[in-house]
Structure 1
Amino acid sequence: MTENAIICISRECGSGGRDLGDRIGEMLGIPVYGKELISKVAKKSDMSEEYVKNHEENPSYSHILGVPIGHPALGVQYDGIMTPEKLFLVQTEVIKEIAREEKSCVFVGRCADIILQGRENLYSFFVHAPREYRIERIMETENLSRREAKKKVKQIDWERSSYHDYYTGIKWGHPSNYDLVINTAKSGIDRAAGAIIEYIK
């Protein structure tokens, strides 16, 4: 494997992106960061983990700033009111710190692929699948009714897309933004993991 590889996975709800990240981490013996970022961001921002959890990958834009942030820029002071935009900048710092400290790792979501743009040995992948496949997978893994699963897939896809587009100014899921786009309905998790590992060798 390429030394000091940073693997970023963006994913549609129900496509198995988190499972794919975990599988890659297991196969390569490297750490995976997704929801694991919550405690680190909470500590750095001096906010509760519950607050961070409620605002991560969620387009709850600030009524104070009220304009798209575009590409993330550091240097914002965190005194006063902690707006969602400032929280995103804290998360940006945390992701960059992890990328500096880890020899190799996997990031799942959190706009890590854009935050780390320009870094050597950065690999970005988008994981998707047909909506019906994702609905059925959510029904099975989370024990939801079809109606509940359909609603969840639609809502989370919208939240992730809106969050990503708002904070980065780059369209979420557009094939030109990624090294590979993988359909897990066809590949399955293990084959997708193998394809990614082979790609970064």
Structure 2
Amino acid sequence: MKKNTIICISREYGSGGRAVGELLSEKLGIPFYDKEILSRVAKESDMSEEFVKNHEESATYSHILNVPIGHRFPGVETEEIMTPEKLFMIQAKVIHELASEHDSCIFVGRCADVVLKDHENCYSFFIHSPVKDRIKRLVETEGVSERQAKKMIKQTDWERSSYHNYYTKQKWGDPGNYDLMINSARTGIEKAAKIIIDYIG
């Protein structure tokens, strides 16, 4: 693997994308960032981690804390109001900072593939699998019913695709936007990680 390699993983909900990232981190001995980004974004935005968690990869763009854009708050300067766009810019800044702090690292989601697209050794992968396999995985890992799993998949995939499409102007899941598309139902987590390792050399 080349020095200063960045691996970005986008994933359908329930496809095991996070598990692939964690395994890559273990095998390559490099940092893995997913939910760990939350605390950094919360600190830099002066917002709670709960707020950031509820708004990251969310399909809500036109509202500020559920208040329509254009609404004026008496005595509050516009620049002091946290908008989804500002939160995205802070998150992008944090991703750039984390990428520069390490020789190599791994990011899952959060449009990192586009945020870091100009990085010399940035590779992007999309992990996907059929809905039936994702439902089975969520039933096993999250302890939910098949009906709940199906609902969670539909909602989360919609939020992730809408968020990604809005902020990057690139279609989420479009094969042309990634180095490789990997069907984890066919490869399994272990082989998916091996495919990525072999690809980046």
TM-score by length of 2: 0.92
Q: Deviations over 1:39-77 (max 9, x none)?
A: 0000011111010000011111133559xxxxxxxxxxx
Runs of 5+ consecutive residues of structure 1 not aligned to the other structure: 67-77
Q: Deviations over 1:175-196 (max 9, x none)?
A: 0000000000000000010110
Larger radius of gyration: 2
Root-mean-square deviation (Å): 1.3
Partner of 1:165: 165
Residue 102 of structure 1: how far off its partner (Å): 1.0
Amino acid at match of 2:164: H
Matched residue SS, 1:106: strand
Partner of 2:156: 156
1:73-152 aligned at under 5 Å gives the runs 79-152=79-152
Partner of 2:176: 176
Inter-CA distance 102–129: structure 2 relative to 1 (3 Å threshold): same
Partner of 1:20: 20
Percent sequence identity is 62
1:52 correspondence with 2:55: no
CA distance in 2, matches of 1:150, 1:131: 8
CA distance in 2, matches of 1:35, 1:114: 18
Q: Deviations over 1:95-131 (max 9, x none)?
A: 0111111110000000000001111000000000001
Matched residue SS, 1:165: helix
Runs of 5+ consecutive residues of structure 2 not aligned to the other structure: 71-77
TM-score by length of 1: 0.92
Inter-CA distance 65–96: structure 2 relative to 1 (3 Å threshold): farther
Divergent runs of 4+, >4 A: none
